[in-house]
């Protein structure tokens, strides 16, 4: 039951109806017996400033930030943590008595999911597919965890050049068109292959980045940060070739759990969050058939 002391949390974005964060967080809050509520709030780009100031004034304890506001919100915040500064994007905001601090917990979500499956990034050769907004946290996570070699494959190297130049101040990064022969040579020695593109995401389940699977290192771990569908065509192909695979569900839960702790000071039940996420996804997939 909500009371006069209930603290407010939420997520802002446009569109926002598809967000699964309310399901995950409200189940975790209930399991932890915390007097909080988490809601989805549609916010158009042209009213972002008013929305953020309103959440500050209403004393929301915190909120998540999703497309298209992750970058545009930066000048509206008072401080940023190291990850948000390095990435240039925020997905979590904490309100401490009117002072808004931005964080990026996507980094933790990406890395922690790999670690749970026994994969350590340190010293590994990594190939990333895509260089859009979703790639930024992935690239920073790989840099922080001391990947020894980082290669990015894209369909339009010119569009990816600025992002790669930005992160090259931290480590050497190789950029290729993903159908170049020289890119295939990178796949041969990859320890980890990560898809950060939306190719294969519902409703375009029949798409995937062009990967010559017979050339990929047979021991490579294959990670797709998409979670709808739970097993993309990309992951299906990887599994056919005997690769260990991982989808984006645990990354989503990991980033959410990190935000939960920032707001409440308590560790949530990741198991409760994952179960809530998977149950909702299963219902959605049944309805879509």
Query: In this structure, how many other beta carbons lie within 10 angstroms of the beta carbon of residue 241?
Result: 13
d(CA 42, CA 25): 17
DSSP one-letter code for 247: -
Q: Which of 70, 101, 124, 125 is catalytic?
A: 70
CA dihedral 252, 163, 82, 143 (to 10 degrees): 80
By three-state DSSP, how is residue 19 classified? coil
d(CA 289, CA 11): 28
Would you call 70 a catalytic residue per the annotation? yes
Nearest to 93 by CA among 72, 114, 111, 115: 72
- Please list, residue by residue across 194-203, b when 16 or more beta carbons sit within 10 angstroms of its beta carbon and e when fewer do: bbbbebbbbe
By three-state DSSP, how is residue 212 classified? coil
Tell me which residues are annotated as active site: 70
């Amino acid at each position: 039951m909500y009371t006069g002391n209930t603290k407010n949390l939420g997520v802002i974005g446009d569109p926002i109806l598809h967000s699964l964060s309310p399901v995950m967080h409200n189940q975790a809050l209930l399991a932890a017996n915390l007097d909080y509520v988490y809601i989805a709030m549609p916010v158009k780009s042209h009213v972002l400033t008013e929305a953020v100031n309103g959440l500050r004034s209403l004393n929301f304890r915190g909120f998540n930030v999703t497309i298209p506001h992750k970058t545009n919100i930066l000048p509206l915040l008072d401080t940023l943590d190291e990850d948000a500064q390095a990435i240039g994007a925020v997905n979590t905001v904490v309100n401490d008595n009117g002072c808004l601090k931005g964080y990026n917990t996507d980094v933790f979500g990406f890395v922690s999911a790999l670690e749970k499956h026994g994969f350590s990034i340190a010293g590994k050769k990594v190939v990333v597919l895509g260089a859009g907004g979703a790639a930024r946290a992935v690239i920073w996570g790989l840099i922080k965890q001391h990947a020894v070699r980082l290669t990015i494959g894209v369909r339009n190297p010119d569009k990816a050049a600025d992002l790669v130049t930005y992160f090259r101040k931290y480590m050497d990064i190789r950029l290729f068109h993903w159908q170049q022969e020289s890119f295939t040579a990178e796949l041969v020695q990859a320890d980890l292959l990560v898809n950060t593109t939306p190719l294969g995401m519902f409703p375009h389940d029949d798409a995937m980045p062009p990967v010559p699977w017979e050339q990929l290192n047979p021991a490579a771990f294959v990670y797709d940060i998409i979670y709808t569908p739970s097993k993309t065509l990309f992951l299906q192909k990887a599994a056919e070739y005997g690769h260990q695979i991982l989808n984006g569900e645990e990354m989503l839960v990991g980033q959410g759990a990190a935000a939960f702790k920032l707001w409440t000071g308590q560790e949530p039940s990741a198991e409760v969050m994952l179960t809530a996420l998977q149950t909702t996804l299963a219902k959605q997939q049944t309805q879509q058939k």
